[in-house]
């Protein structure tokens, strides 16, 4: 029997790995991909809570679908910004992007 | 039986997530990310949310990972042997992430979920039809707002990437 705690612990571990990736990666693409891990941790939480606590409603799943859509939009814009910065500065490392510090 | 599948999926998710975060080659990182997302889709199937599992595979693996791989291939010379892929904050970052994880897990294990809200049995049915009905009745305005947001992201991405090319001419 899988309980709600199983899903939440899995989601917390995935969240921790994502936070570690965001804090340590130099590559901006790697930071964006770690962000996707955090979104997925949240989605697991949403669907698990919706299934276990309100089994006859689907609000958690609707929220997960909205999160997926917004994450796709965010990923597209982030990668476009990274590509624009790469054309100007020839780098994708987050600690070398100081173009706003004039 | 379901528990065994759950643990297999959890091991797949966590191992490929750790490999994704610690891999030196960013291209391998993207492939491990695809494995992680596939495992999360399996978790959604275990939760009887087949529609979300489907759009997880379609949007995340089919669009986001492929887009990341495109950008990785467009930005060359970023995975050389002597280019460090990690900054100098690995130990503080690990401590911060570990503290957050341990605290949340302790809080989760101390909470008795099923005393707070009655019920607690997992709904073993496919609710794709209910989701579709909710989208077109109660959630019609957020649904349309998300479509406008996606259009804005599309136009914004084109504007951001295409501006430099006009400057060069």
Chain B residues whose beta carbon lies within 8 Å of the beta carbon of residue A30: 26, 29, 85
Domain ranges of chain B: 1-97, 126-169
Question: Cβ–Cβ of B17/A17 closer than 8 Å?
Answer: yes
State pTM to two decimals: 0.88
DSSP string, chain A: ---HHHHHHHHHHHHHHHHHHHHHB-BHHHHHHHHHHHHHHHHHHHHHHHHHH-TT--HHHHHHHHHHHHHHHHHHHHHHHHHHHHHHHS--BGGG--TT--
Looking at per-residue pLDDT, the higher value among B29 and A93 belongs to B29
Predicted-complex ipTM score: 0.90
Which of B68, B75, B149 has its CB closest to that of A70? B149
* Residue A10 and residue A16 in contact, taking contact as beta carbons nearer than 8 Å: no
pLDDT tens, position by position, B63-115: 999 999 988 888 876 665 566 777 778 888 899 999 999 999 999 888 877 66
pLDDT tens, position by position, A64-95: 999 999 999 999 999 998 888 888 877 778 77
A89 in contact with B, Cβ within 8 Å: no
pLDDT band at B164 (very low <50, low <70, confident <90, very high): low
B68 Cα distance to chain centroid:
13
A63 in contact with B, Cβ within 8 Å: no
Q: How far is B117 from chain A (nearest CA, A)?
A: 7
* Residue B6 and residue A1 in contact, taking contact as beta carbons nearer than 8 Å: no
Architecture of domain B1-97: Up-down Bundle (1.20)
């Amino acid at each position: 029997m899988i309980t709600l705690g199983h899903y939440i612990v899995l989601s917390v571990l995935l969240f921790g790995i994502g936070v570690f990736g965001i804090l340590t990666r130099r590559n901006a693409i790697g930071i964006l991909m770690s962000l996707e891990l955090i979104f997925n941790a949240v989605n697991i939480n949403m669907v698990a809570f919706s299934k276990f606590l309100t089994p006859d409603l689907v609000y958690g799943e609707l929220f997960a679908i909205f999160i997926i859509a917004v994450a796709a939009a965010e990923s597209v814009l982030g990668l476009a910004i990274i590509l624009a910065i790469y054309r100007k500065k020839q780098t994708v490392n987050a600690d070398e992007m100081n173009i706003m510090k004039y | 039986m379901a528990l065994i599948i759950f643990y297999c999926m959890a091991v797949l998710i966590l191992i490929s997530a750790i490999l994704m975060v610690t891999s030196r080659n960013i291209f391998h990182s993207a492939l491990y990310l695809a494995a992680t997302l596939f495992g999360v889709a399996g978790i959604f199937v275990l939760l009887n949310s087949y529609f979300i599992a489907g759009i997880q595979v379609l949007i995340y693996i089919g669009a986001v990972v492929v887009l990341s791989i495109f950008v990785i291939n467009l930005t060359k010379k970023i995975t050389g042997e002597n280019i460090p892929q990690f900054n100098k904050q690995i130990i503080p970052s690990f401590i911060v992430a570990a503290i957050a994880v341990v605290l949340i897990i302790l809080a989760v294990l101390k909470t008795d979920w099923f005393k707070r809200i009655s019920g607690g049995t997992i709904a073993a049915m496919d609710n794709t039809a209910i989701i579709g009905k909710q989208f077109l009745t109660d959630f019609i305005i957020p649904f349309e707002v998300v479509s406008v947001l996606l259009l804005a992201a599309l136009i914004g991405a084109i504007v951001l990437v295409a501006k430099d090319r006009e400057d060069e001419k």
